[in-house]
């Protein structure tokens, strides 16, 4: 069973004065790309989280964020660097005087918002708090994996339908090629008779050349291989270890057989069915970009 590359999951753990929220989102990527956004208090946990994501999420452009929402912010009370504030305020007043501007409360507001004036207590989390965050993290992983599996089921259904359409079109090719070889043989015989005359045609040599020529136009092997590749594609889709890369390789083989069939067909009606197969195959390849 396949999974989607894209996904979304959240895990929430309530606290007496707030909650921890872990959110995971992913987009398509050939490799695992991790972008982790953490509060400063959890910065020492980033390496652990990266390792866990690498083991559990396989590949994709993953965005992981941990948010702390607290009702009581006294645990992260702010402190004001008064000496730095005075320095900034004095400098602003001096600049205002030199520029002929009026000094007012706006200068104080500007000074207090300058860098390093206000600092927040970003103390590290306790083991109990980290345990809660981990619970929220693994809950978000479970939610994320379920999302991927649900999306994968939708993709699987769509891919099976498109492969079946290719097989249906191949069946129409088989029906329409019944008279193809006799028609080609008749056409070549007629043209040759008109050019050199029917009585001058060496029938044995003609038969040999026709066999050689018609063999080059025969698409029996292509149909057999195309059917085999399509069956293998569906079998791989339903496999527990199905993955987008392997399915991509199989789709390339399907494309080769379709292209060869089209180049050897030499028949307008068959070419139309071949074009239909190519259209379905392109849609399959687009969908596979989103398969894990």
CA-closest candidate to residue 7, choices 67, 65, 61, 66: 61
Centre a 10 Å sphere on the Cβ of residue 48 and count the other Cβ atoms it contains: 13
Q: Determine the topology of domain 7-72+128-148 in CATH.
A: Ribosomal Protein S5; domain 2 (3.30.230)
pLDDT at position 225 over 90: yes
| Residue carrying structure tokens 């972008």 | 35
CATH classification (class only), 151-288: mainly alpha
Weakest-pLDDT range from 146-155, 228-237, 266-275: 266-275
The DSSP string of 24-68 is EEEE--SSEEEEEE--GGGGGGHHHHHHHHHHHS-SEEEEEEEEE
Q: What is the pLDDT of residue 112?
A: 79
Rounded to a whole number of angstroms, the distance between the first and last alpha carbons of the chain is 10
Q: What is the pLDDT of residue 252?
A: 96
Where are the domains positioned within the chain?
7-72+128-148, 78-120, 151-288
The model's pLDDT over 197-214, given as tens digits with 9 standing for 90+, comes to: 666 656 666 666 666 666
Higher pLDDT residue, 63 or 97? 63
The model's pLDDT over 136-182, given as tens digits with 9 standing for 90+, comes to: 999 999 999 999 999 999 999 999 999 999 999 999 988 877 676 67
Tell me how far apart the alpha carbons of residues 161 and 167 are, in angstroms, rounded to a whole number. 10
The model's pLDDT over 7-48, given as tens digits with 9 standing for 90+, comes to: 999 999 987 777 889 999 999 988 899 999 988 888 888 999
Mean pLDDT of the chain: 84
pLDDT at position 120 over 60: no
């Amino acid at each position: 069973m396949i999974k989607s590359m894209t996904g979304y999951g959240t895990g929430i753990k309530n606290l007496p004065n707030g909650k921890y929220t872990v959110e995971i989102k992913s987009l398509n990527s050939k490799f695992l790309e991790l972008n982790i956004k953490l509060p400063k208090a959890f910065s020492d946990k980033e390496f652990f989280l990266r390792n866990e994501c690498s083991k559990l999420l396989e590949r994709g452009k993953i965005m992981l964020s941990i948010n702390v929402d607290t009702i009581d912010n006294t645990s992260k009370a702010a402190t004001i660097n008064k000496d730095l504030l005075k320095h900034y305020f004095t400098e602003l007043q001096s600049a205002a005087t030199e520029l002929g501007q009026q000094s007012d409360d706006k200068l104080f507001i500007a000074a207090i918002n300058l860098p390093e004036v206000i600092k927040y207590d970003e103390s590290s989390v306790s083991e109990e708090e980290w345990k809660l965050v981990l619970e929220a993290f693994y809950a978000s992983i479970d939610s994320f994996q379920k999302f991927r599996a649900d999306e994968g089921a939708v993709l699987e259904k769509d891919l099976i339908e498109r492969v079946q359409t290719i097989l249906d079109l191949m069946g129409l090719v088989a029906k329409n090629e019944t008279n193809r070889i006799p028609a080609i043989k008749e056409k070549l015989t007629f043209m040759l008779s008109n050019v050199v005359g029917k009585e001058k045609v060496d029938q044995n040599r003609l038969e040999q050349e026709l066999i050689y020529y018609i063999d080059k136009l025969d698409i029996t092997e292509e149909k057999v291989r195309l059917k085999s590749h399509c069956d293998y594609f569906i079998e791989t889709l339903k496999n527990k270890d199905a993955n987008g890369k392997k399915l991509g390789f199989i789709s390339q083989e399907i494309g080769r057989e379709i292209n060869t069939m089209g180049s050897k067909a030499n028949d307008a009606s068959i070419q139309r069915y071949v074009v239909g197969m190519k259209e379905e195959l392109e849609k399959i390849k687009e969908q596979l970009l989103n398969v894990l």
